[in-house]
Structure 1
Amino acid sequence: MKAWAIVEVAQPLQEIDLPTPEPVGQQVLLEVTHAGVCHSDIHVWEGEWDLGSRGKMRLLDRGVVLPLAMGHETVGRVVKWGPDAEGQGLEVGQIRIVFPWVGCGTCAKCKAEEDNMCLQGKALGIFQNGGYATHILVPEPRHLVDPGDIDPALAATYACSGITVFSAINKVMPMAPEEPIVLVGAGGLGLQAIAVLKAMGHKRIVSVDVSDEKLVAAREAGASDTLNASGEDAAKRLVALCGGPVEAIIDLVNGSQTARMCFDALTKGGKLIQVGLFGGELTVPLPLMAMRALTVRGSYVGSPKELRELVKIAQGGRLPGIPITREPMQNADSALQRLRAGKVTGRIVLTAEAA
């Protein structure tokens, strides 16, 4: 198979030939048709995450092996499967979304279909080859979801940005439709979050970014209010826009500056859900955490159950699509660099020649 892979950290992706995997056990081999280019891929390509005062988390020290085909937003066509997957509804040619946040497969979390919480995570596109390739090997049939009538390019984004925002939104619900929910970041995740909230019937959706262009896209996607957080007093301006301190904020950037703004804008009993991996840290006054009954909670992607639930919501066009730019798979490196430069609205989805 061909892969567009990291051969050396922070260097251009290279087109390489790898052996096409032969599925064993419950494994399923798919021919990739669509692969989304996610902001997390930039961190993987750079080889590290900024952990603030704890320094850098270097992926090569955590078991990542090069060369690596990234890509964790994948749709593909079923090709073959291992003998233990017989009788589980598989047919050659089926189009399926790939759930990428796989774990060890044997622990209590994996057995409960909370694979993303497995302590031995083996995510596709990070610890195993992912969708930037002609083929992808999936551990079990339960990691495949039928997209139904959803455009496969859009469906691919649900495997990461879709379930990431869906899982984060679930952590602040239920809320009255007219109560503001603040979304920090109007990139691919932010637009996806707006779409999910609209599909869930929420009315007051406040989008925050430092790019006027992205805020225009947020308005077009259905945000009721927007705020450019550049400059001074962003937290005060956010509180004023929302008509008072805020009950629910989802930080899709999650850097030191955005985290501080979000924390300072929370009302008593407010929840800050931290999703993004921009880097840095947040120092909080501990007495205020108790006196104001605040919640600061991380949210890491989502589970297979949430992916199936999200796809069910999206059937029949009930979940508005986000802007998608299709690019041939061989443009993987240039697509990644455009995203890194902040020049992408919505999502780039790489497509195979036959897709």
Structure 2
Amino acid sequence: MRAVVMEARGGPEVLKPTEMPTPEPGPKEVRIRVRAAALNHLDIWVRKGVASPRLPLPHILGADASGVVEAVGPGVTAFAPGDEVVVNPGLSCGHCERCLAGEDNLCPRYEILGEHRHGAYAEYLVVPEVNLLKKPQNLSFEEAAAIPLTFLTAWQMVVDKLQVRPGDDVLVMAAGSGVSVAAIQIAKLFGGRVIATAGSEEKLRKALELGADEVVNYTHPDWFKEVRRLTGGKGADKVVDHTGALYFEGVIKATASGGRIAIAGASSGYEGTLPFAHVFFRQLAILGSTMASKSRLFPILRMVEAGKLKPVVGQVLPLEAASEGHRLLEERRVFGKVVLRVD
């Protein structure tokens, strides 16, 4: 099969189009013909060696995919060849205490497709049957591939961790990213008043078009003061953040007393300054968040099918241009998702 593999750790140039053996489905596994694969910042972290540094090479990246069922292994009952599907990228054992409690993203054997095993930058992909859902009929394959990882991440942050309710002021950092595009919409769905930040006027404009109520340019030195002004001096009740060290002290100062901050990444660096007095005196809650239970993709896709949530595709490239897609992500030149079309 055609695939793009990571031959070494390094820059986008380590991604090379090549031929790889076509995988065979085992018991309760399904092989899909990939039609689209979406890029995530996770792919960049794996490529650089920040995530999964001991991963055997060559490796196929890619957590998100949509496509058509091409073959099924023994014991598969929910899907048949020809079904159009979306891949749920979280992999777990399915029988431990965490999995049975619906907390499979806390499974001791939890893996993410493309990070811990071969992913979606390829013509074919084999995944467990439990990691597939039917593709909403109103979406293209490119739109469907743009949903899973970022919407799952945003759903857990906004709904499960932050517990956004009507009337909450919700600060969403880095509005142009895939997670934040999803978080803006989910926060609005649950009644929040969204203040979105970005580093360019174009991205701020697009955030408003997506539903944000207010926008702030976080490249300005005292951007957090504008957040407080927009909230009557109070600050944001709930915060969605994955921007990392560069902005973290500002995030703390932009949060209201008693507020909650959910963190799902650290794109500007992993070691930031934490002003402890703000945390304990103002009783802030800082919540780590990684992905979400596989079950959360069911309501997400229902909301997408009903038109209440929508994937935002910023750029579509052919599979062989994966390295260019990585450059677009790293240079923050896209609002929404970069998607590879697999013809």
What TM-score comes out, normalization by structure 2 length? 0.92
AA aligned to 1:6 is M
Q: Is 2:30 the counterpart of 1:78?
A: no
AA aligned to 1:207 is A
- 1:67 CA displacement: 1.1
- The match for 2:36 among 34, 40, 48 is 34
AA aligned to 1:220 is E
- Cα distance in structure 2, aligned partners of 1:124 and 1:153: 18
- Cα distance in structure 2, aligned partners of 1:338 and 1:288: 36
- Cα distance in structure 2, aligned partners of 1:141 and 1:67: 26
Residue number in structure 2 paired with 1:303 = 293
Conserved? CA contact 2:152–2:297, under 8 Å: yes
Conserved? CA contact 1:8–1:66, under 8 Å: yes
- Cα distance in structure 2, aligned partners of 1:150 and 1:125: 27
Residue number in structure 2 paired with 1:9 = 9
Conserved? CA contact 1:35–1:132, under 8 Å: yes
Residue number in structure 2 paired with 1:115 = 104
Deviates more, 1:295-304 or 1:241-250: 241-250
| Cα gap change, 1:229 to 1:285, in 2 (>3 Å) | closer
AA aligned to 2:66 is V
- Cα distance in structure 1, aligned partners of 2:216 and 2:195: 8
Residue number in structure 2 paired with 1:148 = 136
- The match for 1:60 among 53, 59, 63 is 53
Conserved? CA contact 2:170–2:192, under 8 Å: no
Conserved? CA contact 2:195–2:227, under 8 Å: no
- Cα distance in structure 2, aligned partners of 1:107 and 1:162: 25
Residue number in structure 2 paired with 1:268 = 257
- Cα distance in structure 1, aligned partners of 2:284 and 2:111: 33
- Cα distance in structure 2, aligned partners of 1:281 and 1:234: 21
- Cα distance in structure 1, aligned partners of 2:144 and 2:105: 19
- Cα distance in structure 2, aligned partners of 1:288 and 1:196: 28
- Cα distance in structure 1, aligned partners of 2:58 and 2:95: 27
SS of 2:250's equivalent in the other structure is helix
- Cα distance in structure 2, aligned partners of 1:342 and 1:162: 19
- 1:231 CA displacement: 3.0
Q: How does 1:1-355 map to 2 (within 5 A)?
A: 1-10=1-10, 11-48=13-50, 59-61=52-54, 64-85=55-76, 88-138=77-127, 140-151=128-139, 152-170=141-159, 171-176=161-166, 178-187=167-176, 188-198=178-188, 200-202=189-191, 204-243=193-232, 244-253=234-243, 255-278=244-267, 279-286=269-276, 288-353=278-343
- Cα distance in structure 1, aligned partners of 2:2 and 2:102: 31
- 1:285 CA displacement: 4.7
Conserved? CA contact 1:36–1:350, under 8 Å: yes
| Cα gap change, 1:3 to 1:224, in 2 (>3 Å) | same
- Cα distance in structure 2, aligned partners of 1:273 and 1:118: 20
Conserved? CA contact 1:203–1:224, under 8 Å: no
- Cα distance in structure 2, aligned partners of 1:223 and 1:154: 21
- Cα distance in structure 2, aligned partners of 1:207 and 1:288: 22
- 1:16 CA displacement: 1.8
Deviates more, 1:242-251 or 1:147-156: 147-156
- Cα distance in structure 2, aligned partners of 1:136 and 1:113: 25
AA aligned to 2:130 is R
Residue number in structure 2 paired with 1:55 = none
Conserved? CA contact 2:242–2:265, under 8 Å: yes
Conserved? CA contact 1:204–1:224, under 8 Å: yes
AA aligned to 1:223 is A
SS of 2:274's equivalent in the other structure is coil
- Cα distance in structure 2, aligned partners of 1:307 and 1:117: 16
- Cα distance in structure 2, aligned partners of 1:226 and 1:292: 25
- Cα distance in structure 1, aligned partners of 2:8 and 2:275: 42
- 1:286 CA displacement: 4.4
- 1:276 CA displacement: 2.3
- 1:287 CA displacement: 5.5
Conserved? CA contact 2:248–2:274, under 8 Å: no
Conserved? CA contact 1:35–1:131, under 8 Å: yes
Provide Cα deviations, 1:3-51, integer angstroms capped at 9, x if missing partner: 10101111431112221111112111111011001122111111115xx
Q: How many residues align?
A: 336
What TM-score comes out, normalization by structure 1 length? 0.89
